[in-house]
Every structure is written in C-alpha cells, then in structure tokens.
Amino acid sequence: MTKSELIDAVKATKCCNDLSKASIEGVIDCAFGAIAKAIKKEKRFSVAGFGTFTVRSRKARIGVNPRTGEKIKIKASKTVGFKPAPALKKSL
C-alpha cells in the first residue's frame, strides 16, 4: 500500500469521508512524524492490537561487494524492527 492508497482508504471510511484528501494527508504526516520522534527518543513505540516498533542495533560485519567479490567492512548501525501483536499475527 502506498501513501496515496492509505489516504484513499482513510477517506473511504465513515468517520473521515467529509475531510479533504489534503487534510487527511496532513494528519497522516503528523502521525508518522510523532511515531518517528517517539522511536528516536524512547527507543520504542507500541500500538495495542497492532505491534511494537523498537530500535535494534546491528553489529559491524564483513560483507562482499557483489560486483567485484571484494570483502568490505560494514559499520555497526541502528535500524527499526517491528514485532506484530498476537492479534495481528493471528489474523494473517
């Protein structure tokens, strides 16, 4: 699903059909911005019945350049992981 498809899906619901697409897009942008800030600040964001986003650390490692086959060093980094709630996982 793309962002525009999400906006259309929200617009199609009963509670938001009187809102403009631009206002729905603004709300979605604000929501994702708030989620990103929470993950950055608190290292986790949880939505009951949906799942939990957490910051995960990756260790430094040795990789291979697919073009040349040369070994390269990959730095340690952080990423965001997602663990679905049991209700969401069961519905899949």
- pLDDT per residue as tens digits for the range 23-62: 999 999 999 999 999 999 999 999 999 999 999 999 999 9
Q: What is the DSSP letter of 49?
A: T
Q: What is the pLDDT of residue 17?
A: 80
Asked if residue 87 lies in contact with residue 69, where contact means CB atoms within 8 angstroms, the answer is no
The sign one gets for the Cα dihedral 70, 75, 76, 78 is: negative
Confidence category of residue 77, pLDDT binned at 50, 70, 90 = very high
Q: What is the pLDDT of residue 26?
A: 94
pLDDT above 90 (res 82): yes
Four-point Cα dihedral 66, 81, 37, 2, nearest 10: 70
